[in-house]
């Protein structure tokens, strides 16, 4: 299975910066056959980024979605619009959405099922806060296990195979302190057990950089990376995707 590298550009870049970065990335990525790469720009940059990556190995992802089909939902972006832009992957339940925008497990599950129904691949983000990690790995397993179970509620087995899960310990996000690869391996094995499907793709995220990416990519059961800050730095990105 090819490793999946997903760039979450969050709200870091303007439209023109997104276009410039995409041009550079897609040029260097075309020759790299070992990875599957997904770029998740902001909603406003999806169309232009999509035009640049069209026909290359680089795929398009969205950072979030509104699960309702269409209607009076001010400020939201729906799946029909994402589909028309050839979006293939959609992040759901990112910890910033959960923490800052108060998204619940129930809403995350609704989004995930809507993404599947629309024929796209959801990337379900899960991970524990620092306060849970300090209570030990058994507590972490329980916390993350609940997120996984409720996030995937009502999803058929065949659709679980198309679902990606990203384990991102919240304390590791943007902190410069990634998880230990051996702890992440433990968590990936646990998540795989909770999902009940061996082939489910599970990514690691949280302060991934050119320095530690190799260790995560080589670790058993880690099928790829979800990268924030380092993914908007061309030097870091090149180093990671050319490992
Ligand atoms: P950083 O790589 O900046 O820690 O962010 C991780 C993340 O939130 C990706 O979704």
Placement of tokens 């969205």 in the chain? 62
Q: How far does residue 54's CA lie from ligand 1's centre (Å)?
A: 25
| Pocket test residue of 89, 125, 175, 226 for ligand 1, highest count of atoms within 8 A of CB | 226
64 has a pLDDT exceeding 80: yes
Q: Report phi then psi at 15, rounded to 5.
A: -60, -45
CA 92/CA 94 separation, integer angstroms: 6
Joined tokens for residue 19: 């276009």
Paired with 121 in beta bridges are 89
Q: What is the DSSP letter of 221?
A: T
Q: Which domains does the chain have, with CATH numbers?
A: 9-13+25-241 (3.20.20.70)
Distance 72 CA to ligand 1 centre (A): 32
Overall pTM > 0.95: yes
195 neighbors 187 (Cβ within 8 angstroms) = no
Q: pLDDT category, 189, cuts 50, 70, 90?
A: very high
Q: Given the DSSP bridges, would you call strands 58-62 and 35-40 parallel, antiparallel or unpaired?
A: parallel
Q: What is the pLDDT of residues 207-237, one digit of tens each?
A: 999 999 999 999 999 999 999 999 999 999 9
Q: Is the pLDDT at 187 greater than 60, yes or no?
A: yes
Distance CA 72, CA 179 (A): 41
pLDDT value at position 227? 98
Q: Determine how β-strand 58-62 pairs with β-strand 89-92.
A: parallel
1 pLDDT tier (thresholds 50, 70, 90) = confident
**CA 71–ligand 1 middle distance (angstroms):** 32
pLDDT for the residue numbered 57: 87
Q: How do residues 79-117 score in pLDDT, each as one tens digit?
A: 999 999 999 999 999 999 999 999 999 999 999 999 999
Q: Are the beta carbons of 203 and 169 closer than 8 angstroms? A: no
How far apart, in whole angstroms, are the C-alpha atoms of residue 31 and residue 158? 32
- For ligand 1, say whether the CB of 227 is within 6 Å of any of its atoms: yes
pLDDT band at 32 (very low <50, low <70, confident <90, very high): low
- Alpha carbon distance 74, 64 (integer Å): 15
The residues carrying an active-site annotation are 94, 168
Task: State the pLDDT at residue 118.
Answer: 97
pLDDT tens-digit map of 134-174: 999 999 999 999 999 999 999 999 999 999 999 999 999 99
CB 192 within 8 A of CB 202: yes
Evaluate if residue 206 carries a pLDDT over 90: yes
Write the pLDDT tens digit of every residue in 117-127: 999 999 999 99
In this structure, the number of other CB atoms found within 10 A of the CB of residue 53 comes to 21
Residue 31 pLDDT: 58
Residue bearing the bigger pLDDT, 152 or 57:
152
Band of pLDDT at residue 26, cut at 50, 70 and 90: confident
| CA–CA dist 155, 152 (Å, integer) | 6
Handedness of CA 30, 33, 36, 37 (dihedral sign): negative
Residue nearest to atom 1 of ligand 1 (CA): 228
pLDDT in tens, 68-84: 989 999 999 999 999 99
- Could you give the CA distance from residue 168 to residue 123 in angstroms, rounded to a whole number? 12
Percent of the chain residues topping a pLDDT of 70: 98
pLDDT at 243 exceeding the cut of 70: no
Contact predicate 232/200, CB 8 Å: no
Q: What is the mean pLDDT of residues 13-23?
A: 97
Q: Which of helix, strand or coil describes residue 81?
A: helix
């Amino acid at each position: 299975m090819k490793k999946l590298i997903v760039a979450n550009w969050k709200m870091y870049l303007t439209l023109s910066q997104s276009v410039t970065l995409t041009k550079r990335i897609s040029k260097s990525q075309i020759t790299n056959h070992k990875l599957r790469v997904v770029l998740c720009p902001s909603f406003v940059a999806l169309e232009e980024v999509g035009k640049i990556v069209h026909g290359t190995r680089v795929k398009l992802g969205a950072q979030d979605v509104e699960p309702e089909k269409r209607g009076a939902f001010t400020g939201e972006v729906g799946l029909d619009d994402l589909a028309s832009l050839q979006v293939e992957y959609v992040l759901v339940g990112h910890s910033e959405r959960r923490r800052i925008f108060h998204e619940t497990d129930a809403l995350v599950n609704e989004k995930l099922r809507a993404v599947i129904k629309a024929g796209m691949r959801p990337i379900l983000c899960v991970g524990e806060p620092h306060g849970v990690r300090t209570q030990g790995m058994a507590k972490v397993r329980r916390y993350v296990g609940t997120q996984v179970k409720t996030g995937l509620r009502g999803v058929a087995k065949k659709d679980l195979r198309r679902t990606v899960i990203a384990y991102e310990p919240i304390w590791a996000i943007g902190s410069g302190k990634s998880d230990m690869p051996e702890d992440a391996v433990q968590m990936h094995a646990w998540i795989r057990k909770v999902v009940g499907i061996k082939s489910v793709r599970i990514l690691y995220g949280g302060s991934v950089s050119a320095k530690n990416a190799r260790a995560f990519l080589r670790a058993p059961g880690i099928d790829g990376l979800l990268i924030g800050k380092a993914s908007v730095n061309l030097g870091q990105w090149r180093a990671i995707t050319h490992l």
